[in-house]
Structure 1
Amino acid sequence: MKVKLTLFAVILLLLNSCDNTSTTSTPAEQTLSKSDDTFYHYSIWWAFVNKVFDGTLTAKELKTKGDIGLGSYNALDGELVMLDNVPYKVTEDGVVSVAKDDELIVYANAVHFTPEQSFTVDSTVHHQGLRDAINSQLKSKNVFYAFKIHGEFSAIKLGGLHKQQKPYETGLDVLIPNRPVFEGENVTGTIVGFFCPEYIGNIGVANYHFHFISDDKKLGGHVMELTGKNLKVEVDPIHKYTFELPQTPEFINGKFDKEFQYNNK
C-alpha cells in the first residue's frame, strides 16, 4: 500500500512540474514580443538641423532596432528607407541600392512593425487626403505610430539630399528647400513612416514623416506629394520610446541654435 501511494505522489509531482513549465513559458514569450514594440530614434532632429551630419550607427546595427525605418546616411549621402529589414539607400542622383552593413547613418527612426489596425483607402487621394484619412482612424495624437502603406500611385514626388563635404557649412534649412527631386508615374510601392506628437519638439520630426520605396526598388525618397488609390494602410501604435545619441565630437561640441521643422501637419 505504501508503494502505491509513493508512485501516485511521484506521478502528481511530475504532472504539476509539466503544468508549471507550460504556464511560465507563455508569459515570457508575450513579454519578449511586447518589449520589441519600441520607437527607436538615433540622434536628434535638432542636431541634424545644425549640421551634425556624421553618426556611428551602422546599417547592420539599425537592422537590430526594427524592420521598418527611415533616416539619412552620413554626409547626407542618401535617403534611408528600411522595409522588411532591408535598409535601402537613395542617393542624390535617384539611384536606389541596398546599404552595406558597415555604412554609417547620421539620423534614423525604426521600429519592429506589428500592426494593430488596418484600413483601405480605395478612392484617389492626394497627400493631404491620405493624412486626413489616417487622422480619422487614430484614437489619439498623444502617442507614436508607425505605418506601412502599400498601393498604386499615379504620381508621386520624392525628395533627396545633396551629399555634403566637410567642413559642413550648410544646414537643412537651406538644403531641404533646394533638395533633388525624383518623380514617378503609375508605380506601386510602399510608404513607411511615423507620426510623432507635437510635444516631441526638436528631438524628432513632429507629425507625419514618410519615405517611399517602389516595388521594383528603382524609385525612393522622402514623400513630398502623391496621388494614390487602393491604398492599404497598416498602423502600429507605439507606447515606448528610446533614443541613442551619437558619440562624436561634432555632436558633443555642437551648438544647436537653429530651429527647423518639416511642414508635416
Structure 2
Amino acid sequence: MKNFLFRICHLANLPLLLIVLLIGLNSCKSALNKSRTSKQNLAGDDFLYQYSIIDALMAGVFDGDLTIGKLKEKGDFGIGTFNKVDGELIMHQNRVYKVSYNGSVREASDTDSTSAAFVKFFQTDTTIYLAGKGLTYAQVQEYLSNKLNPNGIYALRITGLFSTMTTRAARPAKAPYTTLAGHLKNNQAVFNLRNTRGVCNGFLLPPYLARTNVPGFHLHYMDDSIKEGGHIFNFTTDSLKIEIDIAKGFVIENNTNDEFRKVNLAPDRGEELKKIE
C-alpha cells in the first residue's frame, strides 16, 4: 500500500485473552445468563455477543425469537439480519436499522426479531486514519490484516466519504426455507452507491471462529442521511477514519427457535459462505 498515509492516535496494548462461553446447557443456563448476558457485564467485560451461529443461518434457520429490544441490551453496535433474512441489520449508537431489498432504510421496531446478530458495546481502543487516492476495500483489509494480530477479535467502525460503495440486501424468504446461498442466488438486490458519506460497522474475526461466525471481514454500511446502505461488497475512497475495538472474547446464545434444534449442522459450509460474502 505505497503512498498511503496513516496516523495511529492511540493503541492499547491489551493482552489477548480468549474466553469462549457456550450458552445452552440446561444445567448452567441460569448461572450464565446472570453472570454474562446482562448489559452491565457485557459492557464491562468487553465481549462480543452473538445470537445464533452463522452455520445455522447458512443452513436455512431464518427465524429466531430474540427481539430487537432485547438485542439492544447486548450491545450498542453491530450487524446481523432479521427473521426471514428480511434485509440487512446494522446497529449504530444503540439504534437498529433495516436496509431492505428495495433499497430503503428504516429504524427497526423493538418488537421485530432477529435470526442472527453479532453485537458489542463499542469501546475504541485504536484510531487509525488512512489516506490514498482510490483506496479500496481490499486494500483496507490488507492493511488491517498486516497490522492486527490474526488471533484477535476486532469490532470495526469505519467512517468516510466513499466515491463508490457496493452493497446488497436480501429479499425476505418464504417457507419452506432453502439454504442461505440458495436463497441469495435469486433474492438479493445489489446497490451501486456514489459519493456517499456514512459508517461501516462490523467485525474482523479470526479463522478459529469459522462455523460460528464469519471469519475475516464482515461489515454493513449506512449513509449519514439514513437513506441507503447494506452488506458491503466493495468501496473506494480517498480517506478513512477507522476505530478499532479489541474484544476480550465472545458469548454465543443459541437460537431458541425450534428449527435450530432440528437443523443438521454437521456439514461444513465454509465454501458456501465464501461465495456469498
Q: TM-score, normalised by structure 2?
A: 0.80
* 2:215 aligned with 1:244: no
| Counterparts of 2:185 and 2:245, CA distance in 1 | 31
Q: Which moved more, 1:34-43 or 1:200-209?
A: 34-43
Matched residue, 1:3 = none
Classify 1:263/1:146 alpha carbon distance in 2 versus 1 (closer, same or farther; 3 Å): farther
Larger Rg: 1 or 2? Answer: 1
The answer to whether the Cα contact below 8 Å between 1:119 and 1:233 also exists between their aligned partners in 2 is yes
* 2:248 aligned with 1:207: no
Q: Counterpart amino acid of 1:175?
A: H
Given the alignment, which residue of 116, 126, 130 partners 1:117? 126
Deviations along 1:214-243, whole A, 9 cap, x unmatched? 001011110001111220000011112101
Per-residue deviation, 1:33: 8.4
Partner of 1:130, secondary structure, is helix
Per-residue deviation, 1:264: 9.2
Given the alignment, which residue of 158, 170, 187 partners 1:161? 170
Given the alignment, which residue of 65, 76, 87 partners 1:78? 87
Given the alignment, which residue of 117, 133, 153 partners 2:143? 133
Per-residue deviation, 1:136: 3.1
Partner of 1:160, secondary structure, is strand
Q: Counterpart amino acid of 2:152?
A: V
Per-residue deviation, 1:177: 4.2
User: What does 1:141-152 correspond to in 2, within 5 Å?
Assistant: 141-152=150-161
Per-residue deviation, 1:150: 0.3
Matched residue, 2:180 = 172
Matched residue, 1:47 = 56
| Counterparts of 1:183 and 1:251, CA distance in 2 | 35
The answer to whether the Cα contact below 8 Å between 1:144 and 1:238 also exists between their aligned partners in 2 is yes
Q: Counterpart amino acid of 1:137?
A: K
The answer to whether the Cα contact below 8 Å between 2:98 and 2:105 also exists between their aligned partners in 1 is yes
* Unmatched segments (≥5 aa) in structure 1: 1-30
Per-residue deviation, 1:137: 2.6
Q: Which moved more, 1:95-104 or 1:238-247?
A: 238-247
Per-residue deviation, 1:36: 4.1
Q: TM-score, normalised by structure 1?
A: 0.83
Partner of 1:237, secondary structure, is strand
Deviations along 1:120-163, whole A, 9 cap, x unmatched? 1111311201112222331x111200010000100000011111
Matched residue, 2:24 = none
The answer to whether the Cα contact below 8 Å between 1:207 and 1:264 also exists between their aligned partners in 2 is no
Matched residue, 1:6 = none
The answer to whether the Cα contact below 8 Å between 1:121 and 1:133 also exists between their aligned partners in 2 is no
Query: What RMSD over aligned residues (CA atoms) do the two structures have, in Å?
Result: 1.8
Per-residue deviation, 1:165: 1.1
Classify 1:89/1:34 alpha carbon distance in 2 versus 1 (closer, same or farther; 3 Å): closer
The answer to whether the Cα contact below 8 Å between 1:36 and 1:112 also exists between their aligned partners in 2 is no
Percent same amino acid at aligned positions?
A: 31
In the alignment of these two chains, the number of paired residues is 233
Per-residue deviation, 1:263: 5.7
* Unmatched segments (≥5 aa) in structure 2: 1-39
| Counterparts of 1:57 and 1:38, CA distance in 2 | 18
